[in-house]
Homo-oligomer: A and B are copies of this chain.
Amino acid sequence: MNDKIRIGIAGYGNLGRGVEMALKRNPDMELVGVFTRRDPSSVNLLDATVPVHAMDEIAAFKESIDVLILCGGSKDDLPVQGPAMAKLFNTIDSFDTHAKIPEYFGAVDQAAKGSKRTAIISVGWDPGMFSLNRLYGEAALPEGETYTFWGKGVSQGHSDALRRVPGVVGAVQYTIPSEKAMDLVRSGSNPKLTTREKHTRECFVVLAEGADSKAVEQAIVTMPDYFSDYDTTVHFISAEELKRDHADMPHGGFVIRGGQTSKDCRQVIEYGLKLDSNPGFTSSVLVAYARAAYRMNRVGQTGAFTVFDVAPALLSSKSPEQLRKELL
């Protein structure tokens, strides 16, 4: 008899592959299938014994998967997939378009309530572990300020923006938190900081043949929303250098809460992540929340939830007794 939690993966890119790797480190779960919109025979898993199916056959697996982890993108995939899959499965996703979370939550909640399924949305590190630390910090120190810094790390959105500039054939953008600003925040002085003071942006750009480097640089540093509010540095490199030195996806950052519990009494909470692989960490967090979704569904907690609604113990493979004895 097999009583492992049966996991499915919908979408097999960086995140899907990360979930496959993370499951190997969680022996109470097993991967029972991967679903793709590509030709299934073209998708090579790390473990070739796991079946790959076409996404449009997924409804047939309704009863044989305990939790489906959605590994699609927030822009085009999840707004449709999230509610659709919550009609069939318990789901986990990493929806990260902050401004659209209330709307997305509502759509998934309605679907999951109708099917009596459990869906935990916006899991990962931001939203996710960073969100938790913003909440815990504010609750522990109601009088204070919370600061979030990102980096040093690759921002996909900003790298994509660079690639859309005429004359650019390849690019990577690093978001870098200002050490000076972080030290001010860590002192507990709760400074007012402008966007420009908190982060700088560093771009590594491969030019198209014959492109004008001055014009490209100017187009980048003046680009509204993405770069104009920051001190931005542009480095021109070769396609070989881009591939050799900038292929990894490191990231991380900090959530810092500075507060007072009495006059002139400064209390500072700092949470930080230093990640060699952004998708590797995100997918590992998704897998921990899959365990929680499975347990919540079994006790009848259905509908949509976020990390705020999940009792920490539900994430651990250890029993409540073990947790109290070993980790409390």
Which A residues have a C-beta under 8 Å from some C-beta of B?
Answer: 18, 21-22, 25-26, 98, 101-102, 105, 122, 127, 129, 131-136, 138-143, 186, 188, 261-262, 264-277, 280-281, 283-285, 288, 291, 306-313, 315-317, 320-321, 323-325, 327-328
Contacts and interface: CB of A to CB of B under 8 A. Distances in A.
Contacts of A265: 276-277, 280
A288 B140 contact: yes
The copy count of this chain in the complex is 2
Nearest to A313: B308
A164 to B, nearest CB: 28
A166 to B, nearest CB: 36
A308 B320 contact: yes
Given A261-B280, A261-B281, A280-B265, A315 B129 contact: no
A283 to B, nearest CB: 7
Contact of A138 (B98, B101, B269, B327): B327
A149 B197 CA distance: 31
Contact of A324 (B133, B276, B306, B310): B306
B277 A262 contact: yes
A19 to B, nearest CB: 10
Given A18-B261, A21-B262, A276 B281 contact: no
